[in-house]
């Protein structure tokens, strides 16, 4: 079942329910902010203090960082993580091929307003498949007469039981840029979080596992050779208006990305798809 909802402040979202899972996707940003398999806990973390307002990004779920990841390379006045997450997407298609699966396709394209921020003609398609697994695929199409380069991320906030209990496997021996110290390091063993972490792992394509005390989440990536791992820890959580002070204890971002050296240059007419599939095991 697909239900269109509109909050009193005009914020629009879509509720999905099928035999496998429930989900919620906001039209602003094509932002999936809830996914839960029937009978299980939510897969994604969502801040109870999040904004659900036009022009403000939701804190949690899967914000789309596009067409740049992080700060804009040359103009710090432009929005962090690009404009997609605060832009109005259109719902192009919704299908229920069987009782376990719902497919949604959203679209964002260049407009006079967006051309001021990014001077290229583009189409961006977001395909979300909600079933026993969750698949998110973001396709960029260059509709311009000149090439452009994008960096991006499926900025996934995972819900965890307690941050000290979790580990991330699949990035062993991978080189990463540590944004907190601005240097490059090599990952030793699996990742355990006991302080602020903000890293871009590079030249990595294999599946990632988020091991928690009561479940394992598997992230399978396609069209991506970089991954971001972020936890704001105590001080930064306390400083962020849309996060509770202790929010860092129950979330971890593992982002399927095209960041840094994994930027993608698209010639006129070319397309690129950044895709991930999330599954959960007990
Ligand atoms: C992560 C970045 O992807 O997103 C961090 O690596 C950043 O540096 C975090 O703090 C959250 O960004 P924002 O813009 O949603 O507050």
| Phi, psi values for residue 2, rounded to 5° | -120, 120
If you compute the radius of gyration of the chain from its CA atoms, what whole number of angstroms results?
Answer: 18
Tokens of 178: 């540590």
Rounded (5°) CA angle 13-14-15: 125
Tokens of 230: 């972020």
Using one digit for the tens of pLDDT, what is the confidence trace for 109-118? 999 999 999 9
Count of C-beta atoms within a 10 Å radius of residue 41: 12
- C-alpha 4 chain-centroid distance: 22
Using one digit for the tens of pLDDT, what is the confidence trace for 45-73? 999 999 999 999 999 999 999 999 999 99
- To test the pocket of ligand 1, the residue of 58, 80, 236 to mutate (highest count of ligand atoms within 8 Å of its CB) is 80
Residue 51 annotated among the catalytic residues of the structure: no
What's the pLDDT at 232? 98
Using one digit for the tens of pLDDT, what is the confidence trace for 109-143? 999 999 999 999 999 999 999 999 999 999 999 99
Mean predicted confidence (pLDDT) in 156-169: 98
Mean predicted confidence (pLDDT) in 184-191: 98
- The CATH class for the domain spanning 2-281 reads mainly beta
**What's the predicted TM-score (pTM) here?**
0.98
Atom 15 of ligand 1: nearest residue by CA position = 59
Contact 14, 28 (CB under 8 A): no
DSSP state letter for 44? B
Ligand 1 nearest-atom number relative to CA 59: 15
Q: How far is CA 167 from CA 162, 191, 254, in A?
A: 11, 5, 11
Q: In the structure, which protein residues have their CB atom closer than 6 angstroms to any atom of ligand 1?
A: 57, 70, 80-81, 155, 179, 198, 228, 230, 255
Percentage of residues in the chain having pLDDT higher than 70: 100
- The CA distance from 275 to 257, in Å, is 9
- C-alpha 63 chain-centroid distance: 4
Mean predicted confidence (pLDDT) in 92-114: 98
**CA 232 to ligand 1 centroid distance, Å:** 9
What's the pLDDT at 20? 98
Mean predicted confidence (pLDDT) in 245-272: 98
Contact 212, 123 (CB under 8 A): no
- The CA distance from 260 to 44, in Å, is 25
Atom 1 of ligand 1: nearest residue by CA position = 230
Residue entry with tokens 């806990």: 41
Contact 155, 258 (CB under 8 A): no
What's the pLDDT at 100? 98
- The CA distance from 282 to 274, in Å, is 27
Using one digit for the tens of pLDDT, what is the confidence trace for 206-252? 999 999 999 999 999 999 999 999 999 999 999 999 999 999 999 99
The domain ranges of the chain are: 2-281
Tokens of 63: 């914000």
Contact 36, 136 (CB under 8 A): no
Q: How confident is the model at residue 256 (pLDDT cuts 50, 70, 90)?
A: very high
What's the pLDDT at 82? 98
Residue 231: name the closest of 191, 176, 262 by CA: 191
What's the pLDDT at 147? 98
């Amino acid at each position: 079942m697909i239900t269109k909802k509109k909050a009193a402040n005009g914020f629009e979202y879509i509720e999905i329910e099928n035999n496998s899972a429930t989900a919620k996707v906001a039209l602003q940003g094509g932002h999936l902010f809830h996914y839960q398999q029937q009978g299980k806990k939510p897969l994604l973390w969502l801040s109870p203090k999040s904004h659900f307002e036009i022009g403000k990004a939701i804190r949690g779920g899967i914000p789309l960082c596009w067409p740049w990841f992080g700060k804009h390379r040359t103009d710090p006045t432009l929005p962090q993580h690009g404009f997609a997450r605060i832009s109005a997407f259109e719902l192009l298609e919704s299908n229920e091929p069987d009782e376990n699966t719902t497919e949604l396709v959203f679209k964002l394209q260049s407009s006079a307003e967006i051309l001021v921020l990014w001077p290229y003609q583009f189409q961006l398609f977001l395909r979300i498949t909600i079933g026993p697994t969750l698949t998110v695929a973001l396709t960029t199409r260059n509709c311009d007469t000149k090439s452009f380069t994008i960096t991006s991320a499926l900025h996934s906030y995972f819900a965890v039981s307690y941050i000290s209990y979790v580990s991330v496997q699949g990035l062993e021996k991978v080189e990463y840029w540590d944004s907190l110290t601005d240097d490059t390091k090599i990952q030793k063993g699996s990742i355990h979080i006991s302080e602020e972490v903000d890293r871009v792992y590079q030249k990595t394509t294999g599946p990632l596992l988020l091991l928690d005390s009561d479940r394992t989440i598997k992230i399978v990536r396609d069209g991506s050779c970089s991954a971001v791992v972020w936890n704001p820890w105590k001080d930064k959580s306390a400083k962020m208006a849309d996060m509770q002070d202790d929010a860092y204890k129950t979330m971890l971002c593992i982002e399927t990305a095209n960041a840094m050296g994994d930027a993608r240059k698209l010639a006129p007419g070319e397309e690129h798809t950044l895709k991930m599939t999330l599954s959960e095991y007990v």
